[in-house]
Structure 1
């Protein structure tokens, strides 16, 4: 089954009120839906623009913004749930820093289904900034999700740079990995990009990256954002020679949209010029 995927180069805004956030997000969803996209991906920490609703004393403090944003979590979930149902699409909304029952914060990537169901993947591999300054803790479980288009998975940004995470998800049946990302240097963007392309090559699957873009000097957390969204593929017959199905312009504000066939992953694993997926276990012989 073919499905059209939209991945966002999403700009962070300074918001006037909650209604302006609702309007902005729905405009993005409508634009993708009008192009028949059925799986929508937003970037990591896209939700951090919500910190601007609380005033300078909050958005200029790493700890205070995390605490304040918890008051918006239910509204955030209701918004994306309603949009997924209204436009009958799957939405990965990027990530939201969620305070768990233990008191720890997790970088949580929610997945919203057209029937109203919600699931999530917590980020597992934390960057130095998250560990040392923001004190956001790693998740505890690697997950995958069944959809009408097949099984999909989520690697949050830095997670995509660790091959065994994606490998376990693909071995469990995921042929599409969504990578919401947020990077503040060109090198950081390329690290995630290279990781995504490597995961697509070695697993002969699709990997989709979304990026936060633009400058937000008011924000203590996401002041500089650099990147380009893309849809990566196996590098073999039936796919683009460079493994890039679609890619945006660096730092532009835009959707990147393309149609994929998740069943093609099974075909290339059986009939490809090489058998990256099948030959993976052979590494253990050395």
Structure 2
């Protein structure tokens, strides 16, 4: 290696590069046959030019990655080397394949330690994403196995390499580059005496892979705009008064092309003031009489303004039991509901409210969403149950009267975003209702939180309202970033769960 600072360039391999490439292969692969014939390399360049990548230093090739396309369903199963390159050194490239197959990655010995292999792998991953392919597959040699074959079975060897008790130059490198060992293959390359004929089938999944869609309307939305109404409680004289106020905000959110509008828990509480002399139990049941009408009229607003509405929550009387229910009014006219599951001491004592029995994820035209009503956000089990159903955005309509009550909701919502690798939006109410028993004051600072990693704001806060001020806020959330986080984040909470210790309780609860 030149003692001067390398001047590196990454590019595709050209036919004129063969002599230089062959010399490098002879140097690196002298124990397994050296360079491939010129015909084979030319065939690779001709059939799949984008898949042949090299790194050069001041014009000299010092590393390369050779790649073909294959059918995933075939080569994710056991196979041997000659299924990829036959006895006549003809490459089995499949132009219509849906996965990449890594043939070789090699770097000049003098340049090892500069993480050039990682650059080549990153280029392969980018190629996989750009061509919308399912995965990268590779048959990986284990060249250090022969040294310990008398002491350890090959399965034991793989486990020790994973645990870094042993080092294998190929397998250790592959594991460090986010590849998983899918299976062990025997007789993959019989002449590979150092690997004792074994190889690992390695796989890196492209989390952005999308099946071919017949229409642009079937493409999943990747950037979603959230709108939150920080709602001020005020005297209202009728349901029409409430709907007019709500429509003002929903119209405003729609004008800014928001995909969702979130209102607070019990946003319709001012209607209890229409009969101010009721006691607490009678007042909340009186309020429940308006729920069905409000739900239907909000559904009309969702369709009219082309926006999905999370209508905070409202009391619902069913078969003599009172529940606190949040409604998701889709802009296509469909309606979903999420019952509040954990009931606060206040709700039980003063309003005699019962809790629901199920938490679920709702499919929308702008992502998979869940709803945790206020107190529910303070229970991590519910967020994890939503995560196991693939939630991307959790909405938390809340009502709190004091700042410490608000902070419980806020801090727990931030924890749910981090531990479940999703976005969380919280929306509350402000102001006061002096004529309504038990709903007299409010404190809120609505916000949208993200996971805490390099893909997101440094404080994991995407947007937040001014405290105790009626207003609307917007936040654009990128669903693709959640995929990056899940596979390539600084930490990957969901992937690193100890399911052997605690993995069954949420699954059982969902079922």
SS at match of 2:494: helix
> Structure 1 residue 74 and structure 2 residue 292: aligned?
yes
Q: For residue 16 of structure 1, report the CA deviation from its aligned partner.
A: 2.1
> Is residue 149–residue 262 contact of structure 1 (8 Å, CA) maintained in 2?
no
Aligned counterpart for 1:49 among listed residues 260, 264, 270: 270
CA distance in 1, matches of 2:471, 2:231: 7
Aligned counterpart for 1:142 among listed residues 355, 359, 376: 359
> Structure 1 residue 20 and structure 2 residue 238: aligned?
no
Q: CA offsets, 1:187-223, max 9 Å, x none?
A: 0000000000000011111000001111111111311
Q: For residue 69 of structure 1, report the CA deviation from its aligned partner.
A: 2.3
SS at match of 1:10: strand
CA distance in 2, matches of 1:157, 1:273: 30
Structure 1: 4+ residue segments shifted above 3 A: none
Aligned counterpart for 1:179 among listed residues 396, 399, 402: 396
Match of 1:29 in 2: 250
SS at match of 1:132: helix
Q: For residue 282 of structure 1, report the CA deviation from its aligned partner.
A: 5.9
> Structure 1 residue 189 and structure 2 residue 383: aligned?
no
> Structure 1 residue 157 and structure 2 residue 374: aligned?
yes
Match of 2:496 in 1: 279
SS at match of 1:56: coil
Q: CA offsets, 1:139-168, max 9 Å, x none?
A: 111122001122110011010011110101
SS at match of 2:491: coil
> Is residue 6–residue 32 contact of structure 1 (8 Å, CA) maintained in 2?
yes
Unaligned residue ranges in structure 2 (runs of 5+): 1-221, 503-511
SS at match of 1:44: coil
Q: For residue 67 of structure 1, report the CA deviation from its aligned partner.
A: 2.3
Match of 2:458 in 1: 241
Bigger mean CA deviation after superposition, 65-74 or 39-48: 65-74
> Structure 1 residue 215 and structure 2 residue 436: aligned?
no
Aligned counterpart for 1:65 among listed residues 276, 279, 283: 283
Q: For residue 15 of structure 1, report the CA deviation from its aligned partner.
A: 0.6
> Is residue 193–residue 209 contact of structure 1 (8 Å, CA) maintained in 2?
yes
Aligned CA distance change for structure 1 residues 132 and 71 (closer, same or farther; 3 Å): closer
Match of 1:107 in 2: 324
CA distance in 1, matches of 2:228, 2:295: 20
Bigger mean CA deviation after superposition, 65-74 or 231-240: 65-74
Q: CA offsets, 1:246-271, max 9 Å, x none?
A: 01111111111111112321211111
Q: For residue 171 of structure 1, report the CA deviation from its aligned partner.
A: 0.9
SS at match of 2:261: strand
CA distance in 2, matches of 1:267, 1:111: 28
> Structure 1 residue 90 and structure 2 residue 311: aligned?
no
SS at match of 1:239: coil
Greater relative contact order: 1 or 2 (C-alpha under 8 angstroms, separation 6 or more)? 1
CA distance in 1, matches of 2:395, 2:447: 11
Aligned 1:118-133 pairs, distance under 5 A: 118-133=335-350
Tell me the matched-pair count: 281
Match of 2:164 in 1: none
Q: For residue 71 of structure 1, report the CA deviation from its aligned partner.
A: 2.9
CA distance in 2, matches of 1:281, 1:177: 23
Unaligned residue ranges in structure 1 (runs of 5+): none
Aligned counterpart for 1:227 among listed residues 407, 432, 444: 444
CA distance in 2, matches of 1:178, 1:23: 23
CA distance in 2, matches of 1:160, 1:71: 27
Relative to the length of structure 2, the TM-score reads 0.54
Q: CA offsets, 1:45-98, max 9 Å, x none?
A: 11111212x32223xx21122222233223201210100000111100100010
SS at match of 2:268: helix
CA distance in 2, matches of 1:242, 1:190: 16
CA distance in 2, matches of 1:193, 1:283: 31
